[in-house]
Structure 1
Amino acid sequence: MTKEHFFDLAQLAYTEILTPTLEESLHFFTEYLGMFIVDRTEKSIYLKAYEETYHHSLKLTESTEPGVGAIGWRAVSPQGLQRRVKIIEEAGYGIGWTTGDQGYGETYQFKTPSGHVMELFWDVEYYKPLETEKTSLLNRAQKRPNRGVPVRRLDHINLMVNDVDKMSQFLTDVLGFKMREYVRFENGKMASSWLSVSNLVHEIALTLDPTAETGRLHHVAYWYGYPQNLYDVADLLKENGIFMEGGPGKHGISQAFCLYVYEPGGNRIEFFGDTGYLIFDPSFEPVVWDLKDIPGKGDIWIGAPLPPTFITYGTPIREVKQPPVPAPIMQS
């Protein structure tokens, strides 16, 4: 008999990016990517994209070095939240309940095997647009902004981890994700993986960290919808001195259009030009890539090969301590 799968998590709701250049990072996200400032405190600024309905999807926090702070996931219901909290506590990863951040209610915080801090919640505050932001479209949160090349929503996060197998198992067994694709070495160990709790091919990806450190960020991805937007934002960023690491191009794994850049604080940001493919099959089996099969199949078409930094660079910046995985598999 097939084991019934329960998705207690609904979506990736927000990420917190740490930056040593808060105002410069803010300029990047608001003036080039068209995001809105929702709120700010002494050390943090809260931002959202124009198609997002919650209070914020991005929290920029001033820090001595770049990296990732808390990663927030909304549950499918109050009951789903409680079920997952119980499982997390039984597995020994829990930190405890908090009153929640701006725009989000009571939140359960925990630390993953990879050293990343995550949060689960149910209660949310929906964004109320200003009069000047209101749109006649009843099914859109606010007007499309008239600055930069506006991103539409948060898509996914890619974390650097020192054990892809262990972290993947945590996501599936403890948080209820489904494995969608992964790349394996000859010995069967995973080199990278892509998982989701929705029809998207992934809301989270895992990349083997060549520094053997914990808690590092590979990238945060925002969604555009139209591949042409990647060419438009590439022009804009290039003319304003923003470093573009790779793209525009297309992934083999996940099949989405992409562009990778570094925001001024040093964190890698990816832009998606479409959704890749969607998964509706409830009995979908993970796509397994062997490392030897990646060149020409799982890699991406792009104007030039991805540089070595794409495998070694993450935030916070650390020294490489072990041989990195070949570049083509580190995608999405």
Structure 2
Amino acid sequence: MTKPGPRDIAHMGNVELFTDKFDESYWFFNDLLAMREFARAGDSVFLRTWDDYENWSIKLTPRDRSGVGEVQYRASSPEALDRLVASIEASGRGLGWGEGEHGVGRVYRFTDPDSHPQALYYDTEWYQATDDKPALKNQASRFPGHGVNARRLDHINYLGASVEDNAAFARDVLGLEDTELIQLDNGKIAAHWFHFQNKSYDLVYSADHTGSHGRLHHIAFAPDTREDILKAADIFLENGIHIESGPHKHAINQTFFLYVWEPGGNRIEFANAGARLILAPDWKPVVWTEEERKKGQAWGMQTIETFHTHGTPPAGKG
């Protein structure tokens, strides 16, 4: 069987987030982001963004420490799923097949070199709108018209003890293409961006300076416009949500961004990452030097110190 290729993963399907402040985190996602509750199971609640074609985007689970649980990616075809599973099994990082939840079919579970739990699937149910039926039949549900109006789950940025090891797994085992990276003066890679299809990135690994394993840097949601991100900053300001950085524009991949910490401490980004596409079939990764990164973001704002130190769970509590 041939190895997986750069288009064998379609997109990130869903993320489980752990929170040590469940009620407050639920309020953040449900009220401020205008995500809709789809189902509950045990202590977890399943929430969806308004234009996600699948049933749910986030599984929110109470835990004694916040962080990221299993992240699931949808393969682009049954054949692509077979290629990916064979490649992961050959790498020795496979955990085997299990049942999905709330419309997601069978999932194949594995871990990356940093022990982040991940899974792949193909079979899935499409969301069927009822009381939230949209006026336009080409969107999944009605536009909420309040809060941040998070349209879709966009990407994930993991913290990793070794960016190089995780990047090699993403490239050599999952078949992903890298779009940009930061290489320090000592040769180490500080961060590495990968994409699944034509977006500029879907999966990122950033160096965990604590040397910890399995931590989260952030997950990101995509609203429609820069103006939505500016409005989101005011919404968070009025509701006492910690705004960590932005609104501003990244130099790398040119994403307009806003970073906040939801009440459980997980970093959440709002980004228009889909605004810049990688269409070239022979794209060469852009390498940023340490000196270039010292110049800050696109318009000169320096990267805030907590961007290099804050992650969930807190170091030593994973």
TM-score of the two chains, using structure 2 as the length reference? 0.95
Is 1:47 equivalent to 2:44 in the alignment? no
TM-superposed CA distance for 1:136, in Å, is 2.0
Q: How many residues align?
A: 315
Give the secondary-structure state (helix, strand or coil) at the position aligned to 2:147: coil
Answer yes or no: is the 8 Å Cα contact 2:106–2:123 preserved in 1: yes
- Name the aligned partner's letter for residue 307 of structure 1: I
Alignment of 1:16-55 (within 5 A): 16-55=16-55
The equivalent of 1:317 in structure 2 is: 314
Alignment of 1:81-92 (within 5 A): 81-92=81-92
Is 1:286 equivalent to 2:266 in the alignment? no
Give the stretch that moved more between structures: 162-171 or 143-152.
143-152
- Name the aligned partner's letter for residue 262 of structure 1: W
Unmatched 5+ residue regions in structure 1?
321-332
Query: Cα 1:301–1:319, aligned 2, differ >3 Å: closer, same or farther?
Result: farther
Percentage of identical aligned residues: 38
Give the secondary-structure state (helix, strand or coil) at the position aligned to 1:37: strand
Alignment of 1:116-127 (within 5 A): 116-127=116-127
Give the secondary-structure state (helix, strand or coil) at the position aligned to 1:65: coil
TM-superposed CA distance for 1:246, in Å, is 0.4
TM-score of the two chains, using structure 1 as the length reference? 0.91
TM-superposed CA distance for 1:42, in Å, is 2.4
Moved over 2 A (4+): 3-7, 273-276, 298-302, 304-307
Alignment of 1:1-332 (within 5 A): 5-130=5-130, 132-273=131-272, 275-296=274-295, 299-301=297-299, 305-318=302-315
Give the secondary-structure state (helix, strand or coil) at the position aligned to 1:133: coil
Q: Name the CA distance, whole Å, in 2 between partners of 1:181 and 1:306.
A: 17
Query: Cα 1:106–1:274, aligned 2, differ >3 Å: closer, same or farther?
Result: closer
TM-superposed CA distance for 1:319, in Å, is 5.7
Give the secondary-structure state (helix, strand or coil) at the position aligned to 1:275: helix
TM-superposed CA distance for 1:135, in Å, is 1.3
The equivalent of 1:325 in structure 2 is: none
CA deviations 1:122-160 (Å, max 9, x no partner) are 111111112x31112111111101331211101100000
The equivalent of 1:326 in structure 2 is: none
Unmatched 5+ residue regions in structure 2?
none
Q: Name the CA distance, whole Å, in 2 between partners of 1:46 and 1:5.
A: 31
RMSD, matched Cα: 1.7
Give the stretch that moved more between structures: 184-193 or 215-224.
184-193
